[in-house]
Amino acid sequence: MASASTTARPLSLLLGFIAAAIAVVTVHQSIIHLLALYKVLPNAQAWSMRPVAPYGVPQIVNSVFWGGLWGVLFATIWPKLPGGTLWLRGLIFGWLIAVLSNWILVPLVKGVILKMPNNFFFGGFDPLRMLATALILSGFGLTLGLVYGLMAGRS
């Protein structure tokens, strides 16, 4: 007989994906919209249907997909993250994504592997771009933790 934790695992991963998709469509994109509106990220477009390389899917679909995968990771590791509540763990997770992924891993993959131009580590050390990334992913992580907690029945 399977234990409760074994049967709940696929459900928690699905909930992580869904919670992250909700976080992307609502808070993540709203912060991008506000940052574009106030000219912090003047060329950014929230909820964009612009095709993105390499497969030409709409940008919002691409963001929801990758955000969902981050949500699966969150659902897997949240008990090991510091912080008492899930919203705080989500916020910390968002900061980790900002530093490890958007400032190091993504530029490495895009620039070195995919040979795409203008992919700079740490946002090219542009303080405004770094702050924007931190704000966007902090909002994403915090919302991810809140929504995941509500959906999974955890505080």
Question: pLDDT at position 153, please?
Answer: 86
Does residue 70 register a pLDDT over 70? yes
Of 49, 48, 26, 46, give the one whose Cα is nearest residue 34. Answer: 46
Q: Give the span between the Cα atoms of 57 and 89, in whole angstroms.
A: 31
Would you place residue 124 in the very low, low, confident or very high pLDDT band (cuts 50, 70, 90)?
Answer: low
SS3 58: strand
Tokens representing 142 are: 């915090």
Question: pLDDT at position 99, please?
Answer: 73
Question: pLDDT at position 75, please?
Answer: 95
Does residue 34 register a pLDDT over 70? yes
Of 93, 104, 54, 41, give the one whose Cα is nearest residue 71. Answer: 93
Would you place residue 111 in the very low, low, confident or very high pLDDT band (cuts 50, 70, 90)?
Answer: low
Domain boundaries, the chain: 17-152
**Is the bond preceding 82 in cis, omega lying within 30 degrees of 0?**
no
Q: Give the span between the Cα atoms of 46 and 50, in whole angstroms.
A: 10
Does residue 105 register a pLDDT over 80? no
pTM, two decimals, is 0.83
Tokens representing 96 are: 């980790």
Would you place residue 112 in the very low, low, confident or very high pLDDT band (cuts 50, 70, 90)?
Answer: low
Close Cβ partners of 26 (under 8 Å, ≥ 6 residues apart): 143
